[in-house]
Structures are given as structure tokens and as C-alpha cells.
Amino acid sequence: MYEVTIEHPGFDEEPLYSCKDGGELRSLVYGVHRAQGQEVTDHSEAIAEIGALRSRAEIEGVGVLDVGAVKVRVKPAEYGTWTCEGHENLYAGLGESVTCDGTCVVRPRFDRQAQIDLSLALDDAELDASGGCGACGLEAGQMCADCKRCNCDRHDGCERPAAEPAR
């Protein structure tokens, strides 16, 4: 099992996932490509890179793969590094407590929703880096004409410039 962190300079918080084996890791890396709108053209090379990533993680303790503007950092998972938030215990009727005692390990998987969330986060980071606002979706040229702020701010005192006459 592997702990996988997706790193990007525009992320405030880096998403953390787990992969139980090489197949899930391959799905995650391909998902990161798709989230950035990239197509994997050489599947043999991509699979070899992911295999090398797993080997580096197993041998050196951490492996890093650049996937477009994102870094995928992989470490072998250590039991107990993530704690359970508590969930209903399936064995409650057999004399055990109704909720989990926290000894299990909850590890989020990189699923379709995670890929969508990553795609949206990358779009927001790209807008922020270009001078726009990822939070409200405005590009740099779409900011308020008076104060140059985005829609996240109130513009009660702003006066919009008069429209230019039609020619």
C-alpha cells in the first residue's frame, strides 16, 4: 500500500490518497494526466515510469514523478499514520461498541470525484497564478473596472466607467 501526495505550487493543501497496489497507482497517475487535459500517448513508457516510481518508493522510501505541472509523491504506507474518524461498527450486535474504536485506518482513494476535484483545483490555481481569481472564476481582465478586485470582494463604493459610445 502506498501513500500518495499530489503537489502543485498553487495548492494551499496537498491532497493525500492511498493506493493498495500498482494498479491503483497507475490509475491515479493516469487520472492526474486527465485532470490536466493531457493524453498519455506512449502507454509502455508511462507504465515503465510508474513502475520505476514504485521501485524508488520501496527502495528509497519516497518516489517522485513529474506529471505535467504536478508532482506525484509516493511513499510506502505505514499502518497507523492516519486515524479513523469513527464509523458504524459492523459487529456491534456481537458485543462490540456501536462505533469504531479508531484502530482501523481510513485511507481516501483516488476515484472519479477526486479526479474532478483535482481538475477544478488545478484550474483555480492556474487562474490565481495568471492574476485572476480561482475562487470566483474570473480571469485577470475580468476584474472590476474601478477597483480591479474580483467578485469575492464587495464593490459598494465602486463607480463603473461610462461605456464608450458606439461607433
142 and 60 within one domain: no
- Domain, as residue range, for 8: 2-129
Task: Show the cell assigned to 49.
Answer: 515510469
| φ/ψ (deg, to 5) at 73 | -105, 125
Q: Please list the alpha-helical segments (H only) found in the chain.
A: 22-35, 43-60, 112-129
16 and 58 in a single domain? The answer is yes
Does one domain contain both 61 and 14? Answer: yes
97-155 pLDDT, tens digit each: 555 655 565 567 888 888 888 888 888 888 888 888 888 888 877 877 777 777 777 77
What pTM was estimated for this model as a whole?
Answer: 0.69
User: How many domains does the chain contain in total?
Assistant: 2
Please give the backbone phi and psi of residue 148, each rounded to the nearest 5 degrees, phi first.
65, 20
Q: Is the domain of 123 the same as that of 150?
A: no
Q: Is the pLDDT of residue 63 over 50?
A: yes
User: Does 109 share its domain with 158?
Assistant: no
Residues 48 and 85 in one domain: yes
Question: DSSP secondary structure string, 17-33?
Answer: EEESSHHHHHHHHHHHH
Domain co-membership, 124 together with 136: no
pLDDT of residue 101: 54
Q: How confident is the model at residue 95, as a pLDDT?
A: 56
122 plus 141 within the same structural domain:
no
Joined grid coordinates for residue 156: 459598494
Strands 16-19 and 63-67: unpaired
Kindly state the average pLDDT of the residues 22-26: 91
The more confidently predicted of residues 49 and 21 is: 49
Instruction: Provide the pLDDT confidence category of residue 80 given band limits of 50, 70 and 90.
Output: very low
- Determine the pLDDT at residue 149: 77
Residues in contact with 115: Cβ distance below 8 Å, sequence separation at least 6, in sequence order: 31, 34, 35
Choice between 52 and 77, residue whose per-residue pLDDT is larger: 52
Distance, first Cα to last Cα, the chain = 66
